[in-house]
Amino acid sequence: MRYVETSRLQAHGGGRGVPYMFNVVDLVAFQRRSTLRTRRAWHSVVNAETLGRIAYAAVLKEENPQCFLHLLNGGFRELWRLKENTVEGLFRNCLPKLQDVPPAVVSWAQHLAGKLVSAENDYIGAMFILKENPGVKLEEAEKAAIGTALDILKRARPYLFASEKTLKQSSEEWAAIADNVKESLRKYPFDIRHAALEMRRDTFFNVQSRSLAWQLYAEHHPATAVMETLVRAVHAGDSDEVRRLLFPKDDGESSEYPELEEIRETLTTLSKKLAPLRRYVGRAPSGAQVAQVLGIHPFQGSRLIQSVRRKLGQPGMAALLERLGSTNVPLAWKLKQADIASPKHTSEEPDGVDYIFEKAARYTSNQDED
């Protein structure tokens, strides 16, 4: 399509739903004078296990809209490469653990992924993600705003982001979790709350019980509360709450996040852009939206859809759309009778530009023999 649009290759037809028609002689001449780039192998990020986790996360979010499962669609290729036991992974890889996913969902994901290639698995995963977090066109600074805020806070308040290896059992770290620990003791009788708090404080500062100190810190990890408050407000599109958190008060009192002054305007703008998307949550995304997330051309995405339809057939597609749980099914996903009865070609048959040139080469070879 790019070669046709730039007049490097002559073609007839084209447009919405109209295939290009090529003259074989033009194809051969183009091949001889052009160096085609080798198509890079698809590096999948969604396997059967990840697909099951994504599908179950969508169910959890539907049952409990307030749960903190922000499946970010920006930077799809890097989303699952972050380690889950890091703070970055906590906020950018918010998927349920595999052992928490019901066996029925795991079985469905394994059956589905076993029939599809890596690019098609990524496409299905992106469908689920975009259903819960519709895509939006963001500037580079807006895409990186949450990650930038996280990095700034880690530098400004390192005691909030301690890990099991870096925990120093310092007074700053205790102060960061003290309120949460005190709140957790409300279930105890009033007369023993103070003693229970002091016992936990002594345990935290006891260098001989480092493992117990880490358990206490991890249970009340301050980074979770600090970042969740901000990220939840941004992704909910609540610009008023974002401004309350980031901007100084009218009486001169500092904001909740004074360290983020340099990016507070970006975060506010980001929340305003995300606000209108709330009404699209729960609707199946268009092919163009999925293609944008995956970084492919919409035409390539439509070919993936057609391939998935042929491989899954009517029962498989019905099960997929039921699990997707969307009332508005895109036209491209609706299975046609022709796809079941007589598919145009099998999955083993080559297609795309390489297949066109192979046919052209056979044609010219026959012409030379004649």
Give the pLDDT score at 106: 92
Comparing CA positions, the residue from 346, 348, 317, 311 lying closest to residue 127 is 317
Comparing CA positions, the residue from 142, 153, 119 lying closest to residue 73 is 142
Reported as a single tens digit per residue, the pLDDT across 61-110 is: 666 654 443 444 333 434 445 555 555 554 455 677 788 889 999 999 99
Could you tell me the residue ranges of all domains in the chain? 2-37+351-369, 48-134+281-335, 158-279
Q: In the chain, which stretches have pLDDT less than 70? A: 35-40, 61-94, 132-137, 278-282, 326-370
Distance CA 272, CA 35 (A): 45
Give the pLDDT score at 110: 93
Q: How far is CA 302 from CA 17, 247, 289, in A?
A: 11, 45, 12
Q: Which residue's entry shows tokens 């390489």? A: 354
Rounded to 5, what percent of the chain is helix, strand, coil?
A: 65, 0, 35
The overall pTM is greater than 0.75? no
Q: Is 319 helix (H, G, I), strand (E, B) or coil?
A: helix
Distance CA 112, CA 309 (A): 12
For the chain, what is the radius of gyration of the CA atoms? 27
Q: Is 32 helix (H, G, I), strand (E, B) or coil?
A: helix
Give the pLDDT score at 352: 46
Reported as a single tens digit per residue, the pLDDT across 18-27 is: 888 888 888 8
Give the pLDDT score at 321: 82
Give the pLDDT score at 94: 64
Give the pLDDT score at 281: 66
Give the pLDDT score at 337: 43
